[in-house]
Amino acid sequence: MKFNELGLNDDLLKAIKRAGFEEATPIQAQTIPVVLTGKDVIGQAQTGTGKTAAFGLPILQNIEKSHDAIQAVIIEPTRELAIQTQEELFRLGRDEKARVQVVYGGADIGRQIRALKQTPAILVGTPGRLLDHLNRHTVRLDHVKTVVLDEADEMLDMGFIQDIESILKYASQKHQTLLFSATMPKPILSIGERFMDDPEIVRIKSQELTADLIDQYFVRSKDYEKFDIMCRLIDVQNPELALIFCRTKRRVDEITHGLQARGYNAAGIHGDLSQAKRMSVLKRFRAGKLDLLVATDVAARGLDISGVTHVYNYDIPQDPDSYVHRIGRTGRAGKNGMSVTFVTPNEIGYMRTIERLTKKKMLPLRPPSDSQALEGQLALAHKTIEKLLQNDLTKYSKDAEELLDSYSAIDLVSALLKDLSKDASDIKVTITPEKQHSHGGGHSHHFKRDFSKGRDRNDRHSRRGNFSHHRSDHDRHDSFKVRRRKFKD
C-alpha cells in the first residue's frame, strides 16, 4: 500500500518520499489509519517491521504547533532505541517543525532539564529516566494526547513494568495509548486492560521465507577475515547487482571505502548521508551504474530495489525478520538469487535460531582461495577486453605499434590484465572490529536491537529513575534479573 492512501498530510508525504520509502510495511498500513482516528492500538509485530513510522507519522500529524506542551511521550526500553526513535521522528517531522527531545539514563540530567525548558512537543525516553524527570517535576504529562509503549515485552523482561505503570498514572486522564510488542505475555495484556480503552488489535505475522529461488549459504569466519573473504567471493561469483548489509554506519563507510580502494564499483548508504546523496546513490544502483551497494538495515528498509542477484550479510542480521527482509531483495520475478551470511564462531547458535524460525537451512560455503579469486577477476577482465575490442581503436594504432617495438605482446597484455584485475594482497584493508552476537548455551536470547549505529545494550540506564548516576554493568546485573524471552514460531 502506498503512503498517500493512509490519510497522511502533504508535509509528511514529502518527508516520506525524501527518506526514500516507497510502500508502507504491513504494520504501517494497518496501524496509521487507526491511530489517526484517535483509537488505542495494540500492535503485535517483530522488530524491523517499521513500527516507529507506524506510530510516529500519525503523532506528527496530530501535533498542535501552537500548543506549548508535551503532546506525545514514547517509552523505549533502551537508550539506543530511544535515540534512534528520536532521530527518525526528527527526520520525518522536519517539515512539521515538531520539537522532539530524548531523555535517558547515564546522561547529564542537568543538560536534559535545561533542554526540557524549551518544551518539546514529543518526548522520547527510557522508563527510569522519564520517571526521574516526572518525580522532579521537570516533565509534565498533563496535556499528553498520545502515549506509546514500544517493545513492551522487552521492557517487561528488563524489569520496567512498575516504572511504566507509574508513568501512565502521571499521564492525563484522557489520552490515546499505543502498545507495541513482539509477544503478548499476561503482564503486557494486563497493561492493555488497565490503561487502554477498547484497543484495536493489529497482528503482523512473522515473515516466512517463500522464495525458493534463493540459494542460502553461510561462511564461517572470524570478524577480521570477513572483508578479504567477501572480496574473493565477489570475484568468483561476479554478481550483476549485489547488496551488502552491515550492522553499523561506521562499518558501511569502512567497507565501502575498502571496496573502492580495491577497484570495485561500490557505494554505501546510511542514515547520516544527506538525502540528496542517498537518492543519488540509489538512482545509480537502480540504473545498474553501481555493482555493489553497502547499506544498514534502516537505510535499505522500504526501498524498492529490483534486479539484485546477490545479498551478502557482512554482519549477521539482528533478528529473523531482518534476515527475511534482507535476502528477500533477491530471487524476485522468477530469477534465481543467492545470499551469503558471514558467521563468526560464537554466532553459529544464533544462526541456527534464525534457521529454525525461518524454516530454511543455510548451506556451508567454503571461502574461495586467492588463486580462485584471481581466476574470477581474469575472467571478468577477458570480457572487458572483448567489449573494448568492439570499439574503433584506429587512433590508438600508432601508440600501440610504438609500445610493441619496446615490449612483447605478452608483456603488454599481461600488464593490461593486471590493471583490470585486483590483487587483494596489493591493497590492505582493515575493518574496525564490532561487538558480535554471542548466543551461547543453547538459549534463545534477545535479539539486540541497533540497526543504524551498532550500539549494544551494555550501557543501559539504571532501572530506577529516582537517581541520575550511571551504574556499571556489574551493578545493573546485580540489581535485577533479566528474563530471556524465547521467540516462538
Asked if 234 and 333 sit in the same domain, the reply is yes
Question: Is the residue at 109 inside a domain?
Answer: yes
Asked if 263 and 142 sit in the same domain, the reply is no
Query: Which residues partner with 244 through β-bridges?
Result: 294, 312
Question: Is the residue at 438 inside a domain?
Answer: no
Confidence of residue 450 (pLDDT cuts 50, 70, 90): very low
Question: ∠ CA 49-250-340 to the nearest 5 degrees?
Answer: 60
Question: Is the residue at 231 inside a domain?
Answer: yes
Asked if 99 and 242 sit in the same domain, the reply is no
Cβ contact 145:174 at 8 Å: no
The residue among 155, 179, 203 that closes a domain is 203
- What CATH number does residue 235 fall under? 3.40.50.300
Question: Is the residue at 389 inside a domain?
Answer: no
Q: Shortest CA distance to 178 belongs to which of 142, 206, 202? A: 202
Asked if 243 and 145 sit in the same domain, the reply is no
Q: What is the pLDDT of residue 467?
A: 31
Q: Look up residue 266 and give its three cell numbers.
A: 561500490
Asked if 158 and 228 sit in the same domain, the reply is no
Asked if 299 and 323 sit in the same domain, the reply is yes
The residue among 150, 179, 203 that closes a domain is 203
* pLDDT(486) > 60: no
Q: What is the pLDDT of residues 276-299, one digit of tens each?
A: 788 788 888 888 899 999 998 766
Asked if 124 and 271 sit in the same domain, the reply is no
Mean predicted lDDT score pLDDT of the chain: 81
How many whole angstroms separate alpha carbon 76 and alpha carbon 60? 18
Q: Look up residue 31 and give its three cell numbers.
A: 496501524
Q: What is the pLDDT of residue 458?
A: 35
Q: What is the pLDDT of residues 422-443, one digit of tens each?
A: 665 578 888 888 766 544 333 3
The residue among 324, 354, 370 that closes a domain is 370
- For the chain, the domain total comes to 2
Q: Look up residue 95 and give its three cell numbers.
A: 517539515
How many whole angstroms separate alpha carbon 121 and alpha carbon 114? 15
Q: Look up residue 226 and give its three cell numbers.
A: 570477513
Q: Reduce the DSSP state of residue 136 to 3 states and report it.
A: helix
Question: Is the residue at 358 inside a domain?
Answer: yes
Phi, psi values for residue 268, rounded to 5°: -125, 155
Asked if 270 and 199 sit in the same domain, the reply is no
Asked if 198 and 90 sit in the same domain, the reply is yes
Asked if 9 and 149 sit in the same domain, the reply is yes
Query: Which residues partner with 349 through β-bridges?
Result: none
Taking every pair of Cα atoms in the chain, the longest distance, rounded to a whole number of angstroms, is: 92
Question: Is the residue at 168 inside a domain?
Answer: yes
Query: How much is the average pLDDT of 133-161?
Result: 91
Asked if 230 and 120 sit in the same domain, the reply is no
Distances (CA, A) of 30 to 15, 42, 202: 20, 11, 7
Asked if 174 and 239 sit in the same domain, the reply is no
Q: The domain containing residue 308 runs over which residues?
A: 214-370
* pLDDT(484) > 60: no
Query: How much is the average pLDDT of 344-360?
Result: 85
% of the chain residues with pLDDT over 90: 37
Question: Is the residue at 392 inside a domain?
Answer: no
Q: What is the pLDDT of residues 258-273, one digit of tens each?
A: 999 988 999 999 878 8
Q: Report long-range pairs for 2-8 (Cβ below 8 Å, ≥24 apart).
A: 3/28, 6/32, 6/33, 6/36, 6/57, 7/32, 7/33, 7/36, 8/32, 8/36, 8/57, 8/58, 8/61
Q: What is the pLDDT of residue 464?
A: 32
Q: What is the pLDDT of residues 12-58, one digit of tens each?
A: 998 888 877 778 888 899 999 999 999 999 998 766 567 889 999 99
* pLDDT(459) > 50: no
